[in-house]
């Protein structure tokens, strides 16, 4: 089963997350199917950049989004509506 989730990158005390599509049985840092965005919680304001069209396409194909990614997608949609 495919899952849309966060994969941690960055250095110690400076997290940076990639929003990735991968198999649920694999670890988040292993081989990914697609990278659809990123999230930088340390920048003020927080930076959320997600390709919403790609995410919706993966969800239509049966991928499940993690709870955190669902929240980030809502933020990205809201930011896209404001722009």
Half-sphere exposure of 64 (CA within 13 A, CB side): 6
Q: What is the pLDDT of residues 29-83, one digit of tens each?
A: 788 899 999 999 999 888 899 999 999 999 999 999 999 999 999 988 887 765 5
Note down the domain range covering 43: 2-82
Two structure tokens written together for 18: 């990639």
Whole-model pTM: value is 0.87
- CATH number at 54 reads 3.30.1320.10
> What is the per-residue pLDDT for 81?
62
Give how many domains the chain has, as a whole number. Answer: 1
Residue 71: which H helix or E strand, with range?
Answer: helix 67-82
Please classify residue 20 by burial: count the beta carbons closer than 10 Å to its beta carbon, then call 0-12 exposed, 13-18 middle and 19+ buried.
buried
């Amino acid at each position: 089963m495919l899952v849309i989730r966060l994969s941690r990158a960055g250095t110690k005390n400076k997290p940076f997350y990639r929003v990735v599509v991968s198999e649920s049985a694999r670890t988040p840092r292993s081989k990914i199917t697609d990278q659809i965005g990123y999230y930088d919680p340390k920048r003020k304001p927080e930076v959320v950049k997600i390709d919403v069209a790609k995410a919706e396409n993966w969800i239509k194909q049966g991928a499940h989004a993690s709870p955190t990614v669902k929240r980030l997608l809502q933020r990205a949609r809201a930011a896209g509506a404001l722009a």
